[in-house]
């Protein structure tokens, strides 16, 4: 399964940063990080995510992010 297929399967309902819900009138903006797609509601949330992505993404204990 590629990153897009995993994203669709996860069916995100909220912005990764501010937790705003996605509705029929508000679609998600996606950003790739470590081979995965994440959903955001605005460019401002993407910018905040890019400042400290590990704050918003949980990794398994044995996975190292470089």
List domains and CATH numbers for the chain: 3-55 (2.30.170)
Mean pLDDT of 30-49: 90
- Mean of the per-residue pLDDT values for the chain? 80
DSSP 1-66: --HHHHHHHH---B-TTT-PBPBTTBPPEEEEETTEEEEESSHHHHHHHHH-GGGT----TT----
| pLDDT tens digits along 15-38 | 889 988 887 666 788 888 888 888
> What is the pTM for the complete model shown?
0.71
């Amino acid at each position: 399964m590629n990153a897009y297929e995993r994203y669709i399967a996860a069916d995100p309902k909220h912005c990764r940063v501010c937790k705003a819900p996605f509705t029929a009138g508000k679609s998600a903006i996606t950003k790739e990080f470590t081979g995965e797609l994440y959903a955001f509601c605005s460019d401002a949330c993407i910018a905040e995510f890019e400042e400290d992505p590990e704050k918003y993404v949980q990794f398994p204990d044995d996975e190292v992010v470089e």
